[in-house]
């Protein structure tokens, strides 16, 4: 599930749920400091409708090194609709080696997010391909059309593999993805429980 994320300081971004109580977003959306209350996620928000309700974020865990953060809530942070529709599920985040990430170059990728320029409230799908893997940063450069508000969107390969989250864009409005290398995947899996 993709959700609109509104942080405590009202920045609008995107978050991707990896379980019914945990989502990932870009750290620049929620700030550099671990906090208790940090905004709300609205999965599947469309226009001003929030058909699947919302979950308040009661634990915010930013990564000290990379532009990624974990958003957590509990059942009592969930609205009735959220609790009803977002049934307990879990997506494991898999870490990829440099060689595997290199092998993704040229593959098609897609993402769902909330680009601000199109009102910020409607979910859009972007399609593109992975054009380059820069391992020292680490970044997957893509041709995914990316606008403000899409930070935190999950990037997927056509075969469904979850490869990372959009964190920045180029001047040509193409998305840069923070890939799940082993270090980042281990951090997510350790802190998501």
Residues 142 and 130: their CA atoms lie apart, in Å, by 4
pTM across the whole model: 0.95
The residue out of 65, 91, 117 marking a domain boundary is 91
Pick the more confident residue, 155 or 118.
155
26-30, 49-53, 113-117, 165-169 — which is least confidently predicted?
113-117
Measure the CA–CA gap between 8 and 104, rounded to whole angstroms.
Answer: 35
Neighbours of 88 (CB within 10 A): 8
Beta bridge partners of 166: 177
Are residues 152 and 120 part of one domain? yes
- Is 191 contained in some domain? no
Residues 121 and 49 in one domain: no
- Per the structure, the count of domains in the chain is 2
User: Could you list the residue range(s) of the whole structural domain that residue 59 is in?
Assistant: 2-91
Using DSSP's 3-state secondary structure scheme, residue 190 falls into helix
Q: Which of 72, 91, 110 is the last residue of a domain?
A: 91
**pLDDT computed for residue 10 by the predictor:** 82
Residue 125 in 3-state DSSP?
Answer: strand
89-132 residue pLDDT tens: 998 899 999 999 999 999 999 999 998 776 657 899 999 999 99
């Amino acid at each position: 599930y993709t959700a609109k994320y509104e942080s405590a300081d009202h920045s609008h971004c995107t978050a991707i749920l990896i379980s019914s109580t945990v989502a990932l977003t870009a750290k620049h959306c929620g700030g550099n400091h671990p906090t208790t209350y940090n905004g709300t996620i609205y999965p599947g928000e469309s226009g001003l409708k929030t058909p699947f309700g919302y979950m308040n974020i009661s634990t915010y865990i930013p990564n000290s090194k990379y532009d990624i953060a974990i958003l957590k809530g509990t059942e009592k942070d969930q609205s009735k609709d959220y609790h009803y529709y977002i049934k307990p599920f879990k997506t494991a985040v898999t870490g990829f080696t440099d060689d595997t990430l290199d092998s993704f170059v040229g593959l098609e990728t897609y993402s769902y997010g909330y680009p601000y320029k199109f009102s910020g409230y409607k979910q859009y799908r972007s399609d593109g391909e992975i054009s380059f893997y820069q391992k020292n940063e680490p970044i997957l450069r893509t041709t995914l059309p990316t606008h403000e508000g899409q930070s935190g969107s999950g990037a997927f390969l056509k075969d469904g593999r979850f490869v990372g989250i959009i964190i920045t864009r180029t001047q040509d409005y193409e998305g840069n993805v923070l890939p799940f290398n082993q270090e980042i995947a281990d951090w997510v899996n350790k802190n998501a429980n």
